[in-house]
Structure 1
Amino acid sequence: MNKLLDITEKQMLRGYVLKICEFSEPLGAGIEVVESALKKEGFYYERKDIEDACNYLEGKGFIKLENIKNSILNIDRTIAKITSLGIDLLEGTTQTEGVILNG
């Protein structure tokens, strides 16, 4: 894929992830939920790409990733929660070139 298209695709995925986190407030969304929500809307991304997008957004302070474990229930999930800075980005009161917000 063309480098510009690859970068744009990553920026758009980050925007989608951020919006899903906003919709899932206050509980957050598991990576599996993010992946399923994207598929339901017709976007098919590899899990690694979604995890990379989440790590990028966390590094910028737009989301917080929380690992939830319970050995009795055999649960091991990563939950993504939007931060106040992430909300500011969605509302347009802060900006970044690394995230494209569509619609």
Structure 2
Amino acid sequence: MKKLFQNKCLALLLVLVMIWGMLPVSVMAVGQTVKVAGIELADGQCLTNNSATSATTWTAGAPYVAYYKDGVLYLNNFETEQVNACIYFRGNSDLIIDVTGNNTLVR
């Protein structure tokens, strides 16, 4: 009886570990905050141009100057003159910044 109980406990532990391993990275990133030029970007959101005043959901192939997804901030010809509000990140992991084109953060 004791052996059967141990086997069931071990099987349950294995199931829990396997479920934890399948959680997507974005679930682990809950609580992260990314702001670009003072505008907060949630996962999958972007700024469509340098004069954007709010974030929009990015769709594949759409133009963007700043796009945030799964802990990576993509900048593509991004320009801002906001010295104190260029890029802000708060979270429990690192922020990776992928830069394409000519980007100007401070003039």
TM category (shorter chain) comes to under 0.3
Higher relative contact order (CA 8 A, sep 6+): 1
Query: Whose strand fraction is larger, Structure 1's or Structure 2's?
Result: 2
- Normalised TM-score (structure 2): 0.23
Compute the TM-score of the two structures, normalised by the length of structure 1: 0.24
Structure of greater Rg: 2
